[in-house]
């Protein structure tokens, strides 16, 4: 009998993952919070504004009822944006999830608590961390939906759980690697979105390849600095959830975070940009939480700081670039 998997969240990534799991033989229920979006998905079996090239199979059960979505589920796959995950899970408060395995897909850090998504899940649902994993890495929904080869990493404290995550997600074009560094994988996947906004800003300003190469390298350095200070493994940031996701998100036409940065670099206001977007750019709120984490742990994160100043204190992007370049000279490798 096929395993029942509840996919909570029908944004572009939730849609792509629901289709992937269905293709792999799972019994998939897909929950969409927004009633008009739910009705559109039921009528069209697709959502042109989110992932226009993907049509959902009839075997995927689409619902607007979260209680029904999780009924008898062996797995919960959480595709809700990071700043909304807690409120979505609050709808399931008091429900017993003993024996249910959870996979987080969101890449963000809760701004109000500075919690990672695995921490939000365990606190809100009262489940043991051994039942929670995070799937991360360079994985644009548009390319997964198009069946293009993709490699990601699943992380968590339970090697058995991670092996099962690999089993249910992996197929001929979607390959899942394993990691025991949940902290590092979650931080890498979240913080690279800040650097992707910076990458967009440099593109919007018309700066060159030299600038982009420097930005990605130094961005990875500051992400690693914070991660290691918080207890993550340095090698994690050289992997798929670190440099892999960083390069992809900073360079891709599919990247919502780079898109936001490009618009800002061209002189548009953040509020106007976000108002015109259908999907969530996680890096905007992660710039707040990343900036707060840097201050909390006393870690120097100059790019994160400048992105924060541009987004929330109206600092001119060109001035931010100038301030980064004019910093005190130092050795390249952080000790």
Which residue numbers are catalytic?
192
Q: Which of 101, 139, 141 is nearest to 121 (CA)?
A: 101
For residue 100, the SS3 value is coil
| Three-point CA angle 95, 162, 16, nearest 5° | 75
Q: Which of 126, 119, 87 is nearest to 104 (CA)?
A: 119
What is the distance between the alpha carbons of residues 130 and 126, in angstroms, rounded to a whole number? 12
Give the helix ranges, DSSP H, for 24-158.
Answer: 35-44, 48-51, 66-70, 82-90, 117-125, 141-145
What is the distance between the alpha carbons of residues 26 and 5, in angstroms, rounded to a whole number? 7
- Evaluate whether 8 touches 34 at the Cβ level (below 8 Å): no
- What are the residues whose beta carbons fall under 8 Å from the beta carbon of 327, sequence distance 6 or more? 302
- Evaluate whether 127 touches 100 at the Cβ level (below 8 Å): yes
What is the distance between the alpha carbons of residues 252 and 255, in angstroms, rounded to a whole number? 5
What is the distance between the alpha carbons of residues 49 and 333, in angstroms, rounded to a whole number? 44
- What are the residues whose beta carbons fall under 8 Å from the beta carbon of 195, sequence distance 6 or more? 215, 216, 219, 220, 223, 246, 249, 250, 303
Burial of 280 (0-12, 13-18, 19+ CB in 10 A): buried
- Residue 101 host element (H or E): strand 101-104
Phi and psi torsions of 4, nearest 5°: -85, 130
């Amino acid at each position: 009998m096929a395993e029942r998997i509840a996919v909570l969240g029908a944004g572009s990534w939730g849609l792509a993952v629901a289709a992937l799991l269905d293709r792999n033989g799972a019994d998939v229920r897909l929950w969409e919070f927004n009633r008009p979006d739910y009705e559109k998905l039921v009528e069209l079996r697709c959502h042109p504004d989110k992932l226009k090239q993907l049509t959902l199979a009839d075997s995927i059960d689409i619902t607007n009822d979260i209680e029904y979505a999780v009924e008898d589920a062996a797995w919960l796959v959480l595709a809700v944006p990071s700043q909304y995950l807690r409120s979505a899970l609050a709808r399931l408060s008091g429900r017993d999830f003993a024996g249910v395995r959870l996979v987080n897909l969101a890449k963000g850090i809760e701004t109000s608590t500075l919690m990672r998504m695995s921490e939000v899940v365990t606190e809100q649902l009262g489940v043991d961390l051994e039942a929670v994993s995070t799937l991360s890495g360079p994985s644009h929904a548009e390319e997964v939906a198009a069946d293009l080869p993709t490699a990601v990493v699943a992380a968590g404290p339970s090697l058995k759980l991670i092996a099962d995550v690999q089993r249910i997600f992996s197929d001929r074009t979607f390959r899942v690697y394993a990691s025991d560094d949940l902290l590092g994988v979650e931080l890498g996947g979240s913080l690279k979105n800040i650097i992707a906004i910076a990458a967009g800003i440099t593109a919007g300003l018309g700066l060159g390849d030299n600038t982009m190469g420097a930005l990605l390298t130094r961005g990875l350095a500051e992400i690693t600095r914070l991660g290691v200070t918080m207890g993550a493994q340095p090698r994690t940031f050289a992997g798929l959830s670190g440099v892999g996701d960083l390069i992809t998100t900073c360079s891709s036409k599919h990247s919502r975070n780079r898109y936001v940065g490009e618009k800002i670099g061209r002189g548009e206001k953040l509020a106007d940009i976000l108002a015109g977007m259908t999907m969530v750019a996680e890096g905007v709120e992660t710039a707040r939480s990343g900036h707060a984490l840097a201050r909390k742990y006393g870690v120097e994160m100059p790019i994160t700081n400048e992105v924060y100043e541009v987004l929330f204190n109206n600092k001119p992007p060109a001035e931010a670039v100038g301030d980064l370049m004019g910093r005190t000279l130092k050795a390249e490798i952080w000790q």
